[in-house]
């Protein structure tokens, strides 16, 4: 990025926290600098977790970009800084995030959503985040994506989960069933029973399962008449947008990459 926050070059790869060997981060950074030049670097997300390069800790909510900038962890001799995560400890509730805070506060800063807004960041661990006047004040994590992956790959449903997941009649039916289910757990097994009894095609089972899980996720947020700003890739974002609209809310998709760029650049500017 240049001094004004304009992106000059981008590289994407699969070198996430689970694929970098212990002690391998200096080599990863060196490879990037070999390509882009010896520039100072700043990172957010799981690189700052106990599984990453160095644990960057957490700042407590409420938090804003200045809070994050004031609590960076610096890797000695590497000209490399890591943004802390955000934690929430309130009564019986305990929650944490890493990386999502930069996107959400960046979206807020860049005017991609109002200063006070509700965000949804779908993924392995979906985040529902409240920002009030530019401050991240509350959030909840739902293990929606991880549960879907576990059921798809390792449960009794696995043999039936090879169909595509896309917005359509079966996905929408799953959404609606989630609103009236006495138990989401019984509805999940009901997907298997419906296939065995010939009431549901194997090709449609994954879409139904996804609808049930995403529907239960959205229903729990009680989003009636609320506008939800969704930060996600187009495929997953469209599923959550459909869920929000079907279940009584209003959905607005936001460019998650533009949001991150705005947030990380502002943090860099604040700490210089």
pLDDT 10s digits, 117-152 = 999 999 999 999 999 999 999 999 999 999 999 999
Three-state SS string over 47-84 comes to: HHCCCCCCCCCEEECCECHHHHHCCCEEECCCCEEECC
Q: Which pLDDT does position 16 carry in this prediction?
A: 86
- Residue 133 is assigned to a structural domain of this protein: no
SS3 166: coil
| CATH number of the domain residue 180 falls in | 3.30.420.310
Q: Is residue 126 part of a domain?
A: no
Residue 180 shares a structural domain with residue 196: yes
Q: Are residues 204 and 223 in the same domain?
A: yes
Whether residue 261 sits in one domain with residue 228: no
- Confidence (pLDDT) at 22: 87
Average pLDDT over residues 211-240: 95
Portion of the chain with pLDDT greater than 70, in percent: 100
Q: Does residue 131 lie within any of the structural domains?
A: no
Q: Is residue 132 part of a domain?
A: no
Whether 267 and 239 share a structural domain: no
Residues 148, 199, single domain; the answer is yes
Q: How many domains does the chain have?
A: 2
pLDDT at residue 182 tops 90 = no
The answer to whether residues 230 and 267 belong to one domain is no
Quote the tokens at residue 73.
């962890």
**Do 167 and 94 lie in a common domain?**
no
Which residue range forms the structural domain that includes residue 237? 144-254
Give how far Cα 121 sits from Cα of 101, 141, 168, 232, Å: 10, 9, 21, 6
Instruction: Give the DSSP letter of residue 115.
Output: S
DSSP 171-231: HHHHHHHHHH-S-HHHHHHHHHHHHHTTSS-HHHHHHHHHHHHHHHHHHTT--TT-EEEEE
Q: What percent of the chain has pLDDT over 90?
A: 92
Could you tell me the pTM of the whole model? 0.93
Same domain, 96 and 164: no
Same domain for 234 and 261? Answer: no
* Residues 82, 58 contacting (CB under 8 angstroms): no
The answer to whether residue 18 is domain-embedded is no
Indicate if the alpha-carbon torsion angle 111, 225, 101, 132 is positive or negative.
positive
- Is the same domain home to 261 and 228? no
Does 17 fall in a domain?
no
Residues 149 and 228 in one domain: yes
* 136 occurs within a structural domain: no
Question: C-alpha distances in angstroms, 84 versus 45, 101, 141, 200?
Answer: 8, 9, 17, 46
Instruction: Give the number of other Cβ atoms within 10 Å of residue 271's Cβ.
Output: 16
Query: Does residue 55 sit within a domain?
Result: yes
Considering the domain architecture, whether residues 156 and 173 belong to the same structural domain is answered as yes
């Amino acid at each position: 990025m240049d001094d004004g926050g304009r992106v000059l070059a981008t590289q994407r790869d699969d070198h996430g926290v689970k694929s970098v060997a212990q002690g391998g981060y200096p080599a990863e950074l060196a490879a990037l600098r070999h390509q882009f030049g010896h520039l100072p670097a700043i990172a957010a997300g799981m690189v700052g977790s106990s599984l990453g390069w160095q644990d960057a800790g957490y700042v407590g909510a409420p938090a804003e970009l200045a809070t994050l900038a004031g609590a960076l962890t610096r890797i000695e001799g590497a000209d490399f800084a890591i943004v802390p995560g955000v934690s929430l400890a309130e009564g019986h509730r305990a929650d944490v995030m890493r990386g999502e805070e930069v996107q959400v506060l960046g979206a807020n800063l860049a005017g991609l959503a109002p200063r006070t807004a509700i965000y949804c960041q779908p993924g392995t661990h979906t985040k529902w985040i409240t920002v009030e006047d530019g401050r991240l004040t509350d959030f909840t994590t739902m293990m929606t994506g991880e549960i879907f992956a576990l059921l798809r790959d390792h449960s009794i449903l696995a043999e039936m989960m090879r169909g595509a997941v896309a917005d359509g009649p079966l996905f929408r039916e799953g959404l609606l069933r989630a609103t009236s289910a006495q138990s989401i757990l019984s509805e999940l097994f009901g997907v298997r029973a419906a296939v065995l009894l010939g009431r549901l095609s194997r090709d449609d089972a994954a879409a139904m399962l996804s609808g049930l899980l995403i529907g239960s996720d959205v229903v729990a947020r009680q989003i009636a008449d609320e506008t939800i700003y969704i930060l996600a890739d187009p495929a997953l974002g469209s599923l959550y947008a459909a869920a929000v609209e079907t279940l009584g809310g209003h959905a607005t998709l936001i460019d998650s990459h533009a949001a991150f760029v705005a947030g990380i650049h502002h943090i860099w500017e604040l700490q210089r």
